[in-house]
Structure 1
């Protein structure tokens, strides 16, 4: 693959964005890392109006109108939970729409490259099941927040939104999704969809919306919704359409927010994510029964999950009981406010 055939969409606020704390100089580092590890690739910076762009090295600039935050649910009747989902959709989709090369890489403004190993992962000769293949080729993504387990329990389509590499047409399909409406508490009469179950994660929402154009039946009612064959469908999709690997294995470095003592960097958090060894197991199960498995890595991962992941299922069960008790009180408040 020629690096000249790759366009990198760097999306999000630049490092001086007052409303969001970011590592000093992280966007400059991101852009410079692309020049270092993908020489000849084009860089599109897709960010917001009214930002200081001094000393930022890019080939094309997109200044998007800020759609603002969106409310996905409430933690209590008077506490809306705000997210940047629409901001991510706008900056990512507009950036990808401006790409003219065959391949595209989508990366956040607060992450950066430490290698181009993702290219070698992408170019592996791999088998696919035609009936399960949504994209023209697999997309390489980071395992950070690509959860196999959430709150100790298995989850479907809980896939990272940090990093994507693949055919431009495939990434465009994935991100051609509508902006999200604010959750209407007065209409729903509960603080979150399907309360007391936990609402779906933002990453589940992104993938669910992106995949609806291929399969209208994909719909998760809550975080742990595995009704029917949803888990099997999620695993088959991953095996045939993605390659999931740890940041260091694809050549990605994360900002300090996700390092140090952050939950995403602790053993308990990391082993709940899909690992490359997990992906190999899914690939063998759904695509190629002769594919060799990294048994030592899988055994180590099982032991870690035995210690850090599976015991939290009891904690989650107790939280659901607590949320059930709150549900009656919240219902009374919402009924009173609607009168």
Structure 2
């Protein structure tokens, strides 16, 4: 078992409402206190922005980075910029991880918290790996929140959550030591309907794919639904060989209020579109350990029925929208 003293937790992000980023009051204090409670003896690095109110916060090291500001990965079809906080997440995560001196590290959002430490056991629980698309030195444990298997009713590849990462420090750095996204500027070539086939690549897909390209430059997707059989197969192999995907309850992660209650990701429709831990175990068995037990048929049937009701009907809406978008684009109109 990994000793808590060998773990550094990088708590990254704002500690209060920061420019256009709202923050639940007191959530970062709760986050830091949860680390002390669930991982006694571990080290905490708070990686945040200038001019934050740090009073009452318990951490071991502070990393302050200049705010890169919101980035524009693409222009909307009407030519207006679509703003993201991708570069902010890269900077606060990357600069915090660079200060880690322990063997293992955690990337934890400043608006989430720990409810346990089961992720330590999960990280060591699945020892078998295959040679194909095995890039990291050890597995990294991630949350299934926003690790989607389905989006807009269709299977999607490489849709990995950016909420929580636990593994070797060198592996987390490999995943998060990324170049910043350049801003889209050309109103003709940088529009969403020109850059992507259908819907724009999701932010979480973009992070994961850019990290994977360090190991295999041929990995590429052109849009959210670039779900060719080859892409789905490679995506599953990367998930099976490099990660452990588990629910917040299974790994010991608490979410802030905006992801609970009536939030889309907390409703049945959102939850059943995500990768389930047993589904990850199924691809682990397929690619890494053929002797690993299969999931019970009743569990599979239950999820199938939920997706039949909540996920698959969305396909028709998506097909109609894509058709209308193509017609509009071909006629020179605006999506």
TM-score tier, shorter chain, comes to over 0.9
Out of 326, 329, 335, the residue aligned to residue 328 of structure 2 is: 326
The whole-number CA distance in structure 1 between the counterparts of 2:196 and 2:280 is: 32
Cα distance in 2 for partners of 1:228, 1:328 equals: 27
- The match for 1:41 is 42
Aligned length: 333
* Secondary structure of the corresponding residue to residue 243 of structure 1: strand
CA distance in 1, matches of 2:215, 2:197: 30
Residue 125 of structure 1 and its aligned partner are, at CA, apart by 4.3
Tell me how far apart the structure 1 counterparts of residues 276 and 334 of structure 2 sit (CA, whole Å).
44
1:159 deviates by: 0.3
The secondary structure found in structure 2 opposite 1:132 is coil
Which residue pairs with 1:150 in the alignment?
Answer: 151
Following the alignment from structure 2 to structure 1, what is the Cα–Cα distance between the partners of residues 309 and 229?
29
Q: Of 306, 313, 316, which aligns to 1:314?
A: 316
Compare 316-325 and 238-247 and name the one that shifted more: 316-325
**Using a 3 Å threshold, how does the CA distance of structure 1 residues 132 and 190 change in structure 2: closer, same or farther?**
closer
Partner of 1:133: 134
Structure 2: 5+ residue runs without aligned partners?
Answer: none
What's the counterpart of residue 24 of structure 1? 25
Between the aligned partners of 2:333 and 2:265, the Cα distance in structure 1 is: 37
Indicate the larger mover: 91-100 or 223-232.
223-232
Distance in structure 1 (CA, Å) of the matches to 2:15 and 2:164: 17
Computed over aligned residues only, the root mean square deviation of the Cα atoms, in angstroms, reads 1.7
**For residues 34 and 189 of structure 1, do their structure 2 counterparts lie closer, same or farther at Cα, with a shift above 3 Å needed?**
closer
5 Å matches for 1:164-179? 164-179=165-180
In the other structure, the counterpart of 2:164 is 163
Residue 132 of structure 2 aligns to a residue whose secondary structure is: helix
The 5 A counterparts of 1:180-195 are 180-188=181-189, 190-195=191-196
Deviation at 1:175, TM superposition (A): 1.0
For 1:3 and 1:333, the matched residues in 2 are separated by 54
Shift of 1:23: 1.4
Task: Decide whether aligned partners of structure 1 residues 215 and 79 sit closer, same or farther in structure 2, where only a CA change above 3 A counts.
Answer: same
Counterpart contact for 1:185–1:191, Cα < 8 Å: no
What is the alpha-carbon distance in structure 2 between the residues aligned to residue 246 and residue 269 of structure 1?
13
Cα deviation digits, residues 1-32 of structure 1 (max 9, x gap): 11000000000011243532221100000000
Gaps of 5+ in 1: 335-339
Residues 135-176 of structure 1, C-alpha deviations (whole Å, 9 max, x = no match): 011100000000001111011100000000000000001112
Mapped contact 1:73–1:192 kept (Cα < 8 A): no
Aligned partners of 2:60, 2:190: CA distance in 1, in Å?
48
The 1:193–1:249 alpha-carbon spacing in structure 2 relative to 1, beyond 3 Å, is farther
Partner of residue 303, structure 1 = 305
Task: State the SS of the aligned residue for 1:314.
Answer: helix
Q: State the shift of 1:279 in Å.
A: 0.4
Q: Counterpart of 1:224 in 2: which secondary structure?
A: coil
Structure 1 residue 285: Cα displacement: 1.1
Per-residue deviation at 1:276? 0.2
Partner residue, 1:337: none
- The Cα shift of 1:130 comes to 2.6
- Aligned partners of 1:133 and 1:237 also within 8 Å: yes
For residues 296-321 of structure 1, what are the alpha-carbon distances to aligned partners after superposition, in whole Å with 9 as ceiling and x for unaligned?
A: 32221111111111111111101101
**For residues 196 and 208 of structure 1, do their structure 2 counterparts lie closer, same or farther at Cα, with a shift above 3 Å needed?**
closer
Greater shift after overlay, 266-275 or 320-329? 320-329
3-state SS in 1 of match to 2:235 = helix
Decide which moves more: 189-198 or 286-295. 189-198
Normalised to the residue count of structure 2, the TM-score between the two structures is 0.95
